[in-house]
């Protein structure tokens, strides 16, 4: 390849000079001195045009300055002898993203993840591409404000970020074996320190809510399909047809973040299987997986508290979907998971049929 030939030609004659300039570019970049990085890279490129590493440094300075077209051209030169690593691939992805080439940006993110399956910047960029807009807490907060439910049940409260979004007048119950509440909760909120299975076996949920049904629920506990399915079954029993169940982590970024055993920082477990299972075995449910970052938020309505389809066939359904490989999502993730845009005017439209007279 011409680039390599030129590089070898010049590095033979002026190797020391190139080496010194590259050394300076590396040191300047490490010291966050963009001016010096750019100058060293530019001088190196004057000696050896298209030099891989010099092009790389020139490209990342251009990227940091927001010159995406120039950055892309330099990073592309640096790519000529092969991508330098996850960071390089991610920088290419970022340039394409900034230039609105989202499909190409996704491909470069995948290359970055081939180098490092836990490369957080690549995951963050994939989230920005696949789930633009507000995050799941903003959507949940808006749902609380719009629905003003009398009762709210949340499975998996952690620091309290989501249960703290409930309105002051809502009777709220949180369930978590290891809650670590860091935010102020309303006086009408109670947190039970136990697993959801134990909670449902030991408590009559309707009695806990003073004889009222659950109007809004959020499932965000153990990120395993079978746990989330049991949570859904237990919750639906205490709902009305008009209640809403939200389920977190239903729109995985990719295979690596969608496994049962956690291997990545960004992780949604195999909760996605629940959407497939509900679609198949409960076609009466209305399922919308809102593309809310970072891992999607499903909204389920038209509930049937009398239905026993799931509980009567629990073992069979769990076995069936545990055997379902992520490959089923490879080509048509959006349709398979009932993707719904993260657009509040459209989301609010989903709430209308469940708003009771008292709330209109």
Return residues touching ligand SAM (CB under 6 A): 155-159, 161-162, 175-178, 195-196, 220-222, 227
The residue among 168, 165, 320 whose CA lies nearest residue 229 is 320
To ligand SAM, the closest distance from the beta carbon of 224 in angstroms equals 9
Considering the complex, state which of residue 65 and residue 145 has its C-beta at the smaller distance from ligand SAM.
145
To ligand SAM, the closest distance from the beta carbon of 114 in angstroms equals 27
To ligand SAM, the closest distance from the beta carbon of 179 in angstroms equals 7
Considering the complex, state which of residue 91 and residue 195 has its C-beta at the smaller distance from ligand SAM.
195
Burial of 115 (0-12, 13-18, 19+ CB in 10 A): middle
In this chain, which residue has its C-beta nearest to ligand SAM?
A: 156
Considering the complex, state which of residue 24 and residue 231 has its C-beta at the smaller distance from ligand SAM.
231
To ligand SAM, the closest distance from the beta carbon of 97 in angstroms equals 26
To ligand SAM, the closest distance from the beta carbon of 160 in angstroms equals 7
To ligand SAM, the closest distance from the beta carbon of 115 in angstroms equals 27
Considering the complex, state which of residue 59 and residue 221 has its C-beta at the smaller distance from ligand SAM.
221
Tell me the C-alpha to C-alpha distance, in Å, between residue 141 and each of 11, 82, 163, 247: 60, 46, 9, 14
Considering the complex, state which of residue 97 and residue 136 has its C-beta at the smaller distance from ligand SAM.
136
Considering the complex, state which of residue 91 and residue 172 has its C-beta at the smaller distance from ligand SAM.
172
To ligand SAM, the closest distance from the beta carbon of 126 in angstroms equals 19
The pair phi, psi for residue 244, each rounded to 5°, is: -125, 135
Considering the complex, state which of residue 62 and residue 290 has its C-beta at the smaller distance from ligand SAM.
290
To ligand SAM, the closest distance from the beta carbon of 124 in angstroms equals 18
Considering the complex, state which of residue 111 and residue 153 has its C-beta at the smaller distance from ligand SAM.
153
HEC secondary structure over the chain = CHHHHHHHHHHHHHHHHHHHHHHHHHHHHHCCCHHHHHHHHHHHHHHCCCCHHHHHHHHHHHHHCCCHHHHHHHHHHHHCCCCCCHHHHHHHHHHHHHCCCHHHHHHHHHHHHHHCCCCHHHHHHHHHHHCCCCEHHHHHHHHHHHHCCCEEEEECCCCCCCHHHCCCCCEEEEECCCCCCCCCCCCCEEEECCCHHHHHHHCCHHHHCCCCCEEEEEECCCCCHHHHHHHHHHHHHCEEEEEEEEEECCCCCCHHHHCCCCCCCCCCCCCHHHHHHHHHHCCCCEEEEECCECCCEEEEECCCCCCCHHHHCHHHHHHHHHCCCHHHHCCCHHHHCCEECCCHHHHHHHHHHHCCHHHC
Considering the complex, state which of residue 45 and residue 245 has its C-beta at the smaller distance from ligand SAM.
245
To ligand SAM, the closest distance from the beta carbon of 141 in angstroms equals 11
């Amino acid at each position: 390849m011409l680039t390599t030939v030129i590089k070898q030609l010049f590095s033979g004659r002026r190797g020391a000079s190139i080496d010194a300039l590259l050394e300076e570019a590396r040191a300047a970049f490490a010291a966050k001195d963009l001016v010096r990085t750019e100058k060293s890279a530019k001088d190196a490129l004057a000696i050896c045009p298209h030099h891989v590493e010099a092009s790389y440094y020139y490209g990342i300075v251009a990227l940091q300055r927001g010159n995406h077209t120039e950055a892309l051209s330099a990073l592309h030169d640096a790519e000529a002898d092969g991508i330098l690593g996850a960071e390089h691939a991610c920088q290419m992805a970022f340039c394409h993203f900034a230039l609105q080439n989202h499909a190409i940006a996704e491909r470069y993110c995948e290359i970055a993840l081939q180098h490092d399956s836990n490369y957080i910047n690549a995951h963050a960029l994939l989230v920005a591409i696949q789930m633009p807009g507000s995050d799941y807490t903003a959507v949940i907060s808006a749902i609380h404000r719009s629905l003003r439910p009398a009762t709210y049940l949340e499975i998996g409260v952690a620091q309290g970020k989501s249960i703290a979004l409930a309105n002051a007048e809502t009777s709220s119950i949180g369930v978590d074996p290891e809650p670590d509440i860091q935010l102020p909760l309303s006086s009408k909120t109670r947190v039970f320190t136990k697993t959801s299975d134990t909670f449902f076996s030991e408590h009559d949920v309707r009695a806990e809510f003073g004889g009222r049904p659950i109007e809004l629920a959020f499932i965000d506990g153990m990120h395993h399909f079978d746990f989330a399915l049991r949570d859904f079954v237990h919750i639906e029993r205490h709902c009305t047809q008009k209640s809403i169940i939200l389920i977190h982590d239903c729109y995985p970024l990719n295979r690596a973040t969608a496994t049962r055993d956690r291997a990545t920082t960004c992780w949604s477990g195999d909760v996605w299987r629940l959407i497939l299972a509900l679609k198949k075995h409960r076609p009466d449910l209305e399922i919308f997986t809102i593309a809310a970052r970072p891992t999607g938020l499903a909204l389920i309505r038209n509930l049937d508290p009398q239905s026993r389809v799931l509980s009567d066939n629990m073992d069979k359904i769990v076995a069936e979907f545990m055997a379902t490989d992520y490959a089923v999502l490879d080509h048509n993730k959006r349709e398979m998971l009932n993707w719904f845009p993260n657009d509040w005017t459209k989301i609010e439209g989903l709430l209308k049929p469940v708003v009771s007279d008292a709330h209109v």
